[in-house]
Amino acid sequence: MKEIYLIRHGETDYNKQGIVQGSKVNTSLNDTGRLQAQAFFETYAHLPFDIVFTSALKRTHETVKPFIDKGIPWVQFAEINEMSWGYQEGKQRTLEMSADYQKVMDEWAKGNFYAKLQDGESPAEVYQRCQVFVNQLFEQTENTILICAHGRLNRVLVCALLGQGLEHMENYEHQNTGLYTFRQQEHQIELILQNDEHHFEAIASSIL
């Protein structure tokens, strides 16, 4: 039986400022993000993680660095990099950019998961690379696995893990370092926790 722990990376200044990140913007955690990462570590350091998976972007590496520093094996997968938001990456959203984004969201709501921003990726494309990662995940012999990835990516990845269509992705909301847990037996996988944030209790006074 596998136990899978999936979190979003900690907060960055771009998160705080509302600047679009995506797959080509390689930001670091800010002070709040580092507090979130430390709180997550202190809450879950007792678990016997066998391996840590991250994307190739440093905001995920920094979030789980305390686990990596313990000597837990660490593997990066570009397949779980954040969705590319195309021409909007690295920019503060203008009214025009927000309108473009809303048009794409409206298409997703209609079931057109191939819709995307100019020069960006669609959920359907992201799902394909998530499925590559999931297939490798199921082949792992390790039993307790920690994964750190990204906001939109995690919505798609949860669908891929559960074998669901992308019409479910908007059901999976999460904050920075919000935790999902799954239990897998053979190729059956069950969602146990969704967007769990109880580790924030340790830092509530620090981020108010």
**Contact between 182 and 189 (Cβ < 8 Å):** yes
Cα(115)–Cα(131) distance, integer angstroms:
19
pTM: 0.94
DSSP string, 100-168: HHHHHHHHHHTT-TT---TT---HHHHHHHHHHHHHHHHH---SEEEEEE-HHHHHHHHHHHHT--GGG
What is the chain's pLDDT, residue by residue, as a tens digit (208 residues)? 899 999 999 999 999 999 999 999 999 999 999 999 999 999 999 999 999 999 999 999 999 999 999 999 999 999 999 999 999 999 998 999 999 999 999 999 999 999 999 999 999 999 999 999 999 998 888 899 999 999 999 999 999 999 999 999 999 999 999 999 999 987 789 999 999 999 988 666 555 4
Q: Which CATH class is domain 2-207?
A: alpha beta
**Token pair of 192 as six digits:** 């146990």
Q: What is the DSSP letter of 23?
A: S
